[in-house]
Amino acid sequence: MKTERSIYYPTPTANETHQLSYRLLRTKRCSTPEYYISVRLEQEQKLAYVGTDHALALSLYDMIVQGEVTPCTLQDIVEDALFETVRTDFASAYPMKYDVDCVNMSK
C-alpha cells in the first residue's frame, strides 16, 4: 500500500511554489505489516515509524497531511501523537477505582 498526497504553497519572498509530499508506506517483515510516514520538501525527506496498527497509521497520516507537517518536525509530531495514544489507551484500560481527594498530611 502506498498513499501519496502533495500540497503546493507559495513562498513569502518569491513567485514560486514548493511541494510538500506525504506518503503512507506499508512494509511486511515477517508476518506483521509495519507502517511508516514519509514527508518530503524539496531535497529534505524524513521517515517516521508509526507502528503496526492500520487504523492508527491512517489516522496519523491524515493528521500529518492536514497539519502540513514539514520533514524537520515529523518525528516530534509522530512521537507526541503515539505517546498520547498510549496514554489514552492505558487510562481507559486501567481507570482509577477510587476518587482521590487532596489530603492535608501535615500535623
What's the pLDDT score for residue 106?
52
Mean pLDDT of 87-97: 64
Closest by CA position to 26, among listed 5, 49, 6, 44: 49
What is the per-residue pLDDT for 81?
87
32-52: string of b/e by CB count within 10 Å (b at 16+)? eeebbbbbbbeeeebebebee
What's the CA angle centered on 13, arms 70 and 11, to 5 degrees? 30
Predicted TM-score (pTM) of the model is: 0.70
Instruction: Identify the sign of the CA torsion 24, 40, 66, 56.
Output: positive
Q: Where are the alpha helices (DSSP H) in the chain?
A: 54-66, 71-93
Separation CA 65–CA 100 (nearest Å): 41
Mean pLDDT of the chain: 78
Rounded mean pLDDT of 89-102? 57
Higher pLDDT, 60 or 4: 60
DSSP assigned state of 28: E
